[in-house]
Chain A
């Protein structure tokens, strides 16, 4: 079945430092989505990537889809305390799967 791993599981950074989470699939993906879940909240859609090698930016967030469409990354430049939360990738196989998530803590 579909396996989607995210690394790291946890990340603590000082405010202003950069942060990257990686999503790796065992199979080729048709697309990948990224969601953010604040502590105590629900997942909120951030973006979808479809094309091989695609790069999209949202302010300080940069999303990249690998050339082989088996991995993706989310990079945050100069983290802020508002970036705290868990970041999940989501992929569509025979059903929709969420990755294991990366929990980001930003230390002021």
Chain B
């Protein structure tokens, strides 16, 4: 079974430029998460989807961040414009309570973003 797929793996951009990250969750997982992880810290939840509905986006900086999961499968996270402080690893995770009985989150490899 394929795991959570993310692309790109690395991205270097200049500040004020836009950037987008893509995530394809594990097949059949209806819950999708986007996290941001700064160096030496734990992942911080940005947004959580149940199918195509964003059920928790309280930590998403909505002035510059946006996300979508139009068909309830893959998802895109966008930053526009990027700022220096956005440099971090952006992790996508998916879970399926029904499959595991426990809401285990399976993480993708992440996208390492560097804003210059």
Contacts and interface: CB of A to CB of B under 8 A. Distances in A.
A57 to B, nearest CB: 17
B59 A95 contact: yes
A97 B107 contact: no
Contacts, number: 45
B91 A96 contact: no
Q: Which of B43, B48, B103 is most buried by chain A, counting CB atoms within 10 A of its CB?
A: B43
Contact of A96 (B45, B102, B109): B45
Interface in B37-65: 40-45, 48, 56, 58-59
Given A42-B110, A45-B105, A101 B41 contact: yes
A19 interface: no
Contacts of B93: 43
B92 to A, nearest CB: 9
Interface of A: 33, 41-45, 48, 88, 90, 92, 94-101, 103
Given A43-B93, A96-B33, 9 more contacts: A33-B104, A42-B91, A42-B107, A42-B110, A45-B106, A95-B58, A96-B48, A97-B45, A98-B43
